Amino acid sequence: MLLENKRLLITGVLTESSIAWRVARLAQEQGAELVLTGFGRGLRLTERMAGRLPHPPEVLELDVTREDHIAAVAQALDIRWGRVDGVLHAVAFAPQHTLGGGFLAAPWADAATALHVSAYSFVAVGRGFGDLLAGAGGGSLVGLDFDGSVAWPAYDWMGVAKSALESCCRYLARDLGGRGTRVNLVAAGPLHTVAARGIPGAEAVSGPWPHRAPLGWDLADTEPVARVVCALLSDWMPAVTGEIVHADGGAHAVGAPPLPPKDEHSSFGGTRRIHQGD
C-alpha cells in the first residue's frame, strides 16, 4: 500500500490508453483517494473513465491555462481534504500544424499555445496547489515528459515545449523546495496514447524504440511508467526533486540499437574471422 491515505489530484485521464488512467488505477490499488480533472469536450470522457475505476472518484473541471479554474479546484480540494499529497500534471497540447514537419512554418501564436499548455501550465499548477501541497508536509508534483534533450522527427514544437517543461521542473523544484515539495518529471518512452496518435509521422520515433531500448519496450503497456509516477507520488523518494526519471526501457542511454551477437569464432574486439592456419 505505497500510497495509503494519500490524497491525489490527477489530470489527463481520457481513455484506458492514457498514462494518467493507469496511474489512477494503480494509485487506488495502492490505497490513494483521488480526484480527477478534465475540461471541454474531454470532460465527458474523463467522467466516463472515472466510472471504470475500482472506486469511481469525483471529476472536477480544470483548464490548466486558466488561473480561475486552478483557483476553483484548489478551493474545492481545500474544503474537501484540507491538503493535497500529490498532483499529476499529465497535460500537453500543440496545434496540429506545429507537428509533423511544421516547425519552421509555425506562427508564434501556435507555438505559444504549445508552450502555454505543455510547459507554463506546470508552473501554474505548482503555484496554484502549492499551499495545499505544503499543508501535506510538502507533497509531490509530478509531470509527464518525453526526452527534450534532442530533436525528434515529427515532434517539432512539442519537443521545444518539453524542453521548456524540463527547465520549469528545475525552477519549480528550487522555489517549492523550501516548503518541502518535491517536483519531478517522468520521461516516458513512446506509447500508443491518444496524444501520440495525433502526431503525424510519430511512428518514425516509436517504431524503432522496442529494438533500441536495452530492456525492450511495449508501446501498448503504460504500467511501467505509471509505477514510476506512483513511486514519485509516494514518500519513498524524499530526497529526489528537480529530476527527470526516464521510464523508457533505457533507450535514452544508448545511441543506436545494440549490435547483433558476434560470431563465436570472431576475434575479440574486432570483426575479422579467425580461420584455421591464421
Whole-number pLDDT of residue 263? 59
Predicted confidence band of residue 205 (pLDDT cuts 50, 70, 90): confident
Q: Is the pLDDT of residue 8 over 80?
A: yes
Give the model confidence (pLDDT) of 100-117 as tens digits. Answer: 998 999 999 999 999 999
Give the model confidence (pLDDT) of 229-275 as tens digits. Answer: 999 999 999 999 999 999 999 999 998 777 776 655 444 344 433 33
193: Cβ contacts below 8 Å, ≥ 6 apart: 15, 17, 18, 19, 222
3 state DSSP class of 183: strand
52 to 23, 156, 242: CA distances (angstroms): 13, 35, 33
Whole-number pLDDT of residue 75? 98
Percentage of the chain exceeding pLDDT 70: 94
**Mean per-residue pLDDT over the chain, rounded:** 92
Predicted confidence band of residue 200 (pLDDT cuts 50, 70, 90): confident
- Give the chain's domains with CATH numbers: 7-253 (3.40.50.720)
| pLDDT average, residue stretch 39-53 | 95
The verdict on pTM exceeding 0.75 is: yes
Whole-number pLDDT of residue 259? 73
3 state DSSP class of 278: coil
**Phi/psi at 175 (5° precision):** -80, -25
3 state DSSP class of 214: coil
Whole-number pLDDT of residue 222? 96
Which cell is 168 given? Answer: 520549469
Whole-number pLDDT of residue 29? 97
Cβ–Cβ under 8 Å, residues 125 and 87: yes
Give the model confidence (pLDDT) of 83-104 as tens digits. Answer: 999 999 999 999 999 999 989 9
Whole-number pLDDT of residue 133? 98
Q: Is the pLDDT of residue 28 over 50?
A: yes
| pLDDT average, residue stretch 140-162 | 95
| Residue that is written with C-alpha cell 509531490 in the block | 140
Which of these ranges, 6-10, 72-76, 127-131, 190-194, has the smallest mean pLDDT? 190-194
What ranges in 61-116 are assigned the alpha helix state H?
A: 67-80, 108-115
